[in-house]
A and B are shown apart, each in its own frame.
Chain A
Amino acid sequence: MKPDSPLLKSRSFRERGIVLMEVTVALGLTVFLALMVMRGSLLAISGNQWIVYQTLSDAYLTRETALANRIPMSDLTASSSQWPDQNKDNPPFSTQTVTLGVLASGKTVQAQVTRFRTNETPADTVDLTMNVWRVHSVLTFAVGEHTYAKTRTTLRTQ
């Protein structure tokens, strides 16, 4: 800008200090932008955490399904069953702390699994002497401030 520019000429000695304010405002806006970017990064990381927990919990629930299918019927209906009868046993369910996996940070992820079974034998098939049990597993885990529950049910007949 030329020294005799009208812009410079129009500024008084006091007004020249405004340049400092302009620079400060510009850098303040830059910092605000950086804060927004950081907020976006935080949201992305938290979203990743949610996906990680879903992946780990889905993987663990394959164990519940496999176990419910594999356990002998005598063990399933025994008094010491891992899946107590919801209507007859006391307590009507069992709760266990399980490990879902390990994160990249080395943190071990744990959750609570609650198991119980319900008698689903139809009333009109008594003459067939058939027993039908629905085996329930409820996995409860926390991601941040929210608590999530996932269930798997398996039908067993004898």
Chain B
Amino acid sequence: MKPGALQPTSYRGNTGFTLLEMSSAMAVLMILSSALVAMMQQHVTFLQMAQQQLFLTSEAPKIGNLLNRILNSADHYFVYPTKEAALGIGAPTLNSGSAVKLFFKSAAQTTDFRVLCIEPTKTGSALRFYTPASTAPEHFWTVSSQIHSASFKSEEGILSITLIGPANEQITYYGGAR
């Protein structure tokens, strides 16, 4: 450093902040930082709320579309306590059950049946549509695997399917005999 090139005393004296300025700046920073943290927390809360609504906003409409098409084509139905009873020769129930046997009239005037049931999975439950086969295993496709539980019930002559979502939201679809 060359002598006289830098004058610390005069530089600090001309450019430094006073204690009052620093205190004011820190107070402003703290207030604004607190506000930002609160807003960030609120934003995260909103995101969690949006995530919780995902079942009713995204999954339920798709389930409803499929169930409406299936139930509107059914001729009649019986509710069974279990999938095995519905696919086998079990007796139907008048109370709520976890499976429903749907009967469809074919173009050849024969009657075919399919089974709609709720089955437990590793992450919750799945709503599945079974086509019986002469030899096991039956064929099935999954209507939805993002539900917590479901129940089938016959009330006032119509079939009700109540779905419980992962956040305990509840929605009920209806259909039944033509």
Interface residue ranges, A against B (CB under 8 Å)? 3-4, 8, 11, 13, 16-17, 20, 23-24, 27-28, 30-31, 34-35, 37-38, 41-42, 44-45, 48-49, 51-52, 55-56, 58-60, 62-63, 65-67, 69-71, 101-106
Contacts and interface: CB of A to CB of B under 8 A. Distances in A.
B32 A30 contact: yes
A17 B64 CA distance: 64
A39 to B, nearest CB: 11
Contacts of A34: 35-36, 39-40
A16 B18 CA distance: 10
A45 B49 contact: yes
Given A17-B21, A67-B174, A104-B52, 9 more contacts: A13-B14, A30-B36, A31-B36, A38-B43, A41-B42, A63-B172, A63-B174, A66-B71, A104-B55
Given A41-B43, A70-B158, A48 B57 contact: yes
Contacts of B14: 8, 13
Contacts of B176: 66, 70
B94 interface: no
Interface in B147-178: 156-160, 165, 167-178
Interface residues of B, number: 49
A155 B147 CA distance: 35
A153 to B, nearest CB: 16
A55 B171 contact: yes
B47 interface: yes
A101 B175 contact: no
Contacts of A28: 32
A100 to B, nearest CB: 8
A48 B53 contact: yes
**Interface majority SS (helix, strand, loop, mixed), chain B:** helix
A41 B158 CA distance: 40
B15 to A, nearest CB: 6
B174 A62 contact: yes
Interface centre among B11, B52, B60, B160 (most CB of A within 10 A): B60
Contact of A55 (B32, B50, B56, B178): B56
Interface string B45-72: 0110110110111001100100010010
A42 B173 contact: no
B57 A52 contact: yes
Contacts of A4: 6
Interface stretch (B22-30, B85-93, B128-136, B137-145): B22-30
B165 A104 contact: yes
Contact of B60 (A38, A59, A105): A59
Nearest to B43: A41
B158 A56 contact: no
A51 B57 contact: yes
Contact of A24 (B28, B64, B172, B177): B28
